[in-house]
Amino acid sequence: MLRSILNRLLGMMVVMTLVVTIVFVIVRVTPGDPAAVMLGPEATAADIAALRSKLGLDGSILEQFGRYVFDIAQGDFGQSIFLGEPVTTALAQRAEPTFFLTVFALMIATLIALPVGILSAYKRGSIFDQAATTIAMFAASVPSFWLGLLFIQFFAVKLGWFDTSGYGGPGASFADRLDHLVLPALALGLVSSALITRFTRASMLDVLNDDYVRTARSKGMSEWRVVLKHAFKNALIPIITVIGLTAALLISGAVVTETVFGLPGVGSLVVSAVLRRDYPVIQGALLVIAGLYVLVNFAIDMLYLAVDPRVRY
């Protein structure tokens, strides 16, 4: 057990190091001089040199890398060029909408996917199963930003049920915030439910024919106890995996969805940083999000260890 945890921990640290290196490389593959690109054609050589040093682009590539790793290790992600504040502050300020959007979308996706997936597998080949499978495939084909636009048009503009965009003013109540989150979370959650539904169905199909399910039935156990207690519990591992994976996909979806709904989250921060070539912000956001993903994966691996005694790393 301890050995498995240590093995995984070591693997995670290696991956984390590679993530940090990849981000370093991405910012430096820019053709030409990023500082010159950011400042435009009218900049003087002195301005460019100043910005280069601010961006950490002066000195040899090894020096740059050393400084970069040293700063990150201290939690210093640099200064945003356009916001005039540290990248960590900018990210922290915009973390809340992204966090709630992702959590609500995941909740919506899971609440739809688990019952539909279980019932689909249980009634395999029925009209319900066919309809559910078709709808799931359809949902996976819809661009979430387009669905978001349709939602805005229908629920916000036509019916006037929700606010069309933003996150309420500063100091708005949580209910007001929630009002702004319903549509984006729904758009993102519906699209993401497809993957979890399909995996739940497949995983349940796998276990529903197993011996212990038949045994449970022959003991005269009620159907729903057989399905939920005996079958579902054993189908959980792939389902946990795919829910974790979906959480990561949601962050990607959030980038686009936040922009559609004007939510001031990390996603829209990154998009505006890209449009303004604010490299420190792009770099910081990549590091934080990929780092979180690696940590979540590690947590999922640990969860396996806890859920399934056969798992060893």
Q: Return residues touching another protein (CB under 8 A).
A: 11, 14-15, 18-19, 22, 26-27, 29-31, 133, 137-138, 140-143, 145-146, 149-150, 152-153, 157, 198-199, 201-202, 205-206, 248-249, 251-253, 255-256, 259-260, 270-271, 274-275, 277, 282, 285-286, 289-291, 293-294, 297
Asked whether the beta carbons of 236 and 303 are under 8 A apart, the reply is no
H helix count then E strand count, the chain: 14, 0
Residue with smaller CB distance to another protein, 205 or 311: 205
Distance between CA 182 and CA 244 in Å, rounded?
Answer: 22
Give the contacts of 236 (CB within 8 A, at least 6 positions apart). 203, 307
- What are the C-alpha distances in Å from 83 to residues 65, 79, 91, 236, 272? 24, 8, 11, 44, 11
Is the Cβ of residue 48 or residue 148 nearer to another protein in the bound state?
Answer: 148
Return the percent helix, strand and coil in the chain, to nearest 5.
75, 0, 20
CB of 142 to another protein, least distance (A): 5
In the complex, the smallest distance separating the C-beta of residue 222 from another protein, rounded to whole angstroms, is 27
Minimum Å distance from CB 181 to another protein?
20
Minimal distance in Å, beta carbon 74 to another protein?
22
Minimum CB separation of residue 17 from another protein in Å reads 8
Classify residue 187 as exposed, middle or buried by CB count within 10 Å of its CB (0-12, 13-18, 19+): buried
What are 37-45's contacts with CB under 8 Å, separation 24+? 37/277, 38/81, 38/277, 38/278, 38/279
To another protein, the closest distance from the beta carbon of 30 in angstroms equals 5
CB of 170 to another protein, least distance (A): 26
Give the shortest CB-252-to-another protein separation in angstroms. 4
Q: 266: which 2 tokens?
A: 């990390």
CB-wise, 112 or 281, nearer to another protein?
Answer: 281
Task: Please name every residue paired with 79 in a beta bridge, in sequence order, or none if there are none.
Answer: 86
Shorter beta-carbon distance to another protein: residue 185 or 255:
255
For another protein, the closer CB: 208 or 219: 208
Instruction: Between 215 and 252, name the residue whose CB sits nearer to another protein.
Output: 252
d(CA 122, CA 116): 10
Cα distance between residue 249 and residue 267, in whole Å: 13
Nearer to another protein, 93 or 259 (CB): 259
What would the two tokens of residue 250 be? Answer: 């949601």
Nearer to another protein, 138 or 174 (CB): 138
User: Is 285 in contact with 270 (CB distance < 8 Å)?
Assistant: yes
CA distances from 41 to 31, 75, 119, 196 (A): 15, 33, 62, 49
